[in-house]
Structure formats: structure tokens, C-alpha cells
Amino acid sequence: MDFDLSDDQRLLQDSLAKLLKDKYGFEQRKAYLKSETGWSREVWAAFAELGLLGMPFAEDDGGLGYGAVETMIVMEQMGRALTLEPFVSTVVLGGGFLRHGATPEQRSALVPMIAEGKLLMAFAHTEQQSRFDLHDVATTAKKDGDGWVIEGRKGVVVHGDTADQLVVTARISGGRRDRDGIGVFLVPANATGVTRRGFRTSDGQRAADISFDAVKVDAAAELQGGLALVERVADETIAALGAEAIGCMEAAKDLTIDYLKTRKQFGRPIGSFQSLQHRAAEMMVCLEQARSMAMLAAMMASERNDDERRRNMRAVKVEIGRNARFVGQQTIQMHGGIAMTMEYAGGHYLKRLTVIENMFGDMDHHLAALSDEGGVFVAA
């Protein structure tokens, strides 16, 4: 067991940290937010140049063949900088579906484009009624000759407004909440019958509400794996988002500690008050516990036993969510009024952490499911 980064991993971390230091100051980020896409094409091109966009793909497909630890390293840096680019949507989600569900032909067509920064993807899954249940799919896919016709509406498609290719879940057979009968389809965003309405998420990122009206796709558009594929990719994404949360928490904690040392009230630094010291220490406890879970997630992302992987990822989601909430809230509380403003980074960490907490299942969702599945430590 070894928790140290290799030299290559450290290099990856340092180069990305440097890039983000140059390109992702608070004011720069504000400008990206205000732009039409809501993020920076220039930064995206820089990610491609650094190799980040081809990272998780096999070398044979045109990628770098990196694993979950590298994804963790990258996501943590992105969390620190509060990046806005569609990295999770394109590389982690889109990439995950291609890696685990696509044919070699599909991969060799799409992966090089992703790696070069020329193809954006998004995962179109959540529906009005589905909440966090991955198996709750009302959108349908009906056989049409060799191909399929997709009909339905997907609500919170993160980065769906700019994506070129959508990964869409649709029901091939069975009832709305059956575990069997879910198909996963690659749908070009410009296909006839696809209508997108872009909107802003609460943390300032972009998403889309997407309707599919008799959208025709050919047989090759179907990815293999059904719900098991969706769950696997969702778990990898939970790991990635968990690492992003660690980055946010770390940056928020650093910001808070600095502020405690410099802000004076009652003639002394507020960091000299024990009630704040103890909460700062508790923040650190939370951060370390969450960090441990991000590492567990990186370890479990490639776990072959689906049940084992699923249960551990649920634990990861719950524990990171709990600790992130504390760190995010206390960042604001210990700053006082200043962190309530849009002009200060502190509050933006809470916003991003809250969005992460509510993606791919909130704490209650995973706690209930984990508890039904026998918990973490299964009794002999």
C-alpha cells in the first residue's frame, strides 16, 4: 500500500496547477462565466495540449491509458480552480461510455477527436420523475428497420448546450422503472428532432433541457451494456466529482485559514478566538476524511465486482457530501459577510460543492440504497 504519487503523476499535477494558475484567476473565471459558452475554448485547447482530454482512453484508441488515480489528480486541481469546462461531461462521462460500451470502430472514430479537443459530449439521462434513480427511464427507443427512433425529454443535461454528441438513455422494453430494457444511445446533438434549451446551473455552469422528437439513429448508435454500463460510468463519475470536491474543500479551507489570520476584530486576528480555531480544526478533520474517501474511490473505480464497487462508491458519495457541506458552510460562516458576495471566491466553493452533492445521487439516496444492500461491512 502506497499513497505517494509517482514522478509522472506529480508532473501531471504540477503542470495542470501551473496552467490553472495562469488561466484561472478569479477575474479570468468571471470573464469565462460571462462568455457565450460559459467556459473557455482557449483553456479547453490548453487541456488538450496537456493531454488531459485523452487521458483515460486506451493507447490503441488514441489515448494515454491513464487510470483513476490520474483522473483524481486532475479533478482535484480543477476543483481548486473551480473550472467551468466540460471535462466531466466529455472525458469522464462521455469517455466512460465510449470506453466501456462502444465498439472499436466507434472508439477509433471519436476518441482522437475528443483527445484533440474537437468533440464535446454530454450525458442526457435525468428526467422530471427519475430523481436519482438510474433505472427510472421514461424516454423510449423503438425499433425502426435497422435503426431506432428516440422519443422523450431529458432535463438537467450538464454541458448539453454545447455538446456535439449526446449519450442518451432510453427504454427499449419493460416498464418505466424496470432494471432491464434500458438502452444507451449515441445521438449527434444536431440530429433532426433534437431541441436544446440551454440554461445556467446554480454554480454558474451550463446545462440544457433537451427534447427528442422522433429522433432517428442507426443501429450502430446503440452502446452495449444497458443499466450496468450506466452504473459503471456513474460510479467513475462519482469518483471524479469526489476528487473535484476535495479540491474545492482544500481551496476553501486555505482561504478561510488565511482570512482568520488577517481579519481583525476586537483588536486581534479572529483566528485567535478558540471557537473559530476549533471549527477550523474540524474543517481539517472533514477534509482529511473526505480525502481518504476520494482515494478509496480511485481504488474502487476499477473494481471488477460490481456490487463491491457500487457499495463503496455509495459510501464515498455520502461521506464526501457530508464533509463538503460542513467545509462549505463554515467557509462562509467564519468569513462573516464578505463570503456572502459574488465578488469573493469563498461562497463559490459552497455553490460548486452543493451542485456536486446533488449530482448522481445525494447523501440520502445513497445512504438508503447502501443500507438496503447490507451496508459497508457485511456481517459474516
Ligand X SMILES: Cc1cc2nc3c(=O)[nH]c(=O)nc-3n(C[C@H](O)[C@H](O)[C@H](O)COP(=O)(O)OP(=O)(O)OC[C@H]3O[C@@H](n4cnc5c(N)ncnc54)[C@H](O)[C@@H]3O)c2cc1C
Applying CB under 6 A, which residues contact ligand X? 263, 265-266, 270, 273, 275-276, 333-334, 336-337, 340
Q: What is the dihedral of CA 338, 340, 343, 345, to 10 degrees?
A: 90
Query: If phi over 0 gives left and psi between -120 and 50 gives alpha, with beta otherwise, what is residue 375?
Result: left
Q: How many other CB atoms are there within 10 angstroms of residue 191's CB atom?
A: 15
Query: If phi over 0 gives left and psi between -120 and 50 gives alpha, with beta otherwise, what is residue 303?
Result: beta
Contact (CB, 8 A) for 247 and 75:
yes
Alpha helices in 24-60 (DSSP H): 26-34, 41-50
Q: How far is the CB of 60 from another protein (least distance, A)?
A: 24
Reduced to 3 states (helix: H, G, I; strand: E, B; else coil), residue 29 is helix
- Tell me the CA distances in angstroms from 146 to 77, 81, 174, 183, 220, one per residue in order: 45, 46, 20, 15, 9
Q: What is the DSSP letter of 280?
A: H
Radius of gyration of the chain (CA): 21
Q: How far is the CB of 337 from ligand X (least distance, A)?
A: 3
Q: Which contiguous run of DSSP H or E holds residue 209?
A: strand 206-217
Question: Which partner, ligand X, another protein, none, binds residue 337 by CB below 5 to 8 Å per kind?
Answer: ligand X
Question: Which partner, another protein, ligand X, none, binds residue 336 by CB below 5 to 8 Å per kind?
Answer: ligand X
**Which residue stretch of 35-43, 212-220, 315-323, 340-348 sits at the interface with another protein (rule: CB under 8 A)?**
315-323
Record the cell numbers describing residue 125, joined without a space. 439521462
Query: Residue from 282, 354, 362, 365 that binds another protein (CB under 8 A)?
Result: 282
- Between 153 and 263, whose beta carbon lies closer to ligand X? 263
Question: Which partner, another protein, ligand X, none, binds residue 272 by CB below 5 to 8 Å per kind?
Answer: another protein
Q: How far is the CB of 28 from ligand X (least distance, A)?
A: 26
Cell 488531459 sits on residue: 52
Q: How far is the CB of 249 from ligand X (least distance, A)?
A: 18
Q: Does 379 bind another protein (CB under 8 A)?
A: yes
Subset of residues 234 to 263 that bind another protein, contact rule: CB under 8 A: 257, 260-261
| Residue type for position 41 | R
Query: Residue from 5, 50, 109, 228 that binds another protein (CB under 8 A)?
Result: 5
Q: Does 104 bind another protein (CB under 8 A)?
A: no
- Cα–Cα distance, 14 to 325 (Å, whole number): 28
Q: How far is the CB of 287 from another protein (least distance, A)?
A: 8
Q: Does 64 bind another protein (CB under 8 A)?
A: no
Question: Which partner, ligand X, another protein, none, binds residue 333 by CB below 5 to 8 Å per kind?
Answer: ligand X
- Between 154 and 335, whose beta carbon lies closer to ligand X? 335
Site for another protein, rule CB under 8 A: 1-6, 9, 69, 257, 260-261, 271-272, 274, 276-278, 280-282, 284-285, 288-290, 292-293, 295-296, 298-299, 312, 315, 318-319, 367-368, 370-371, 375-380
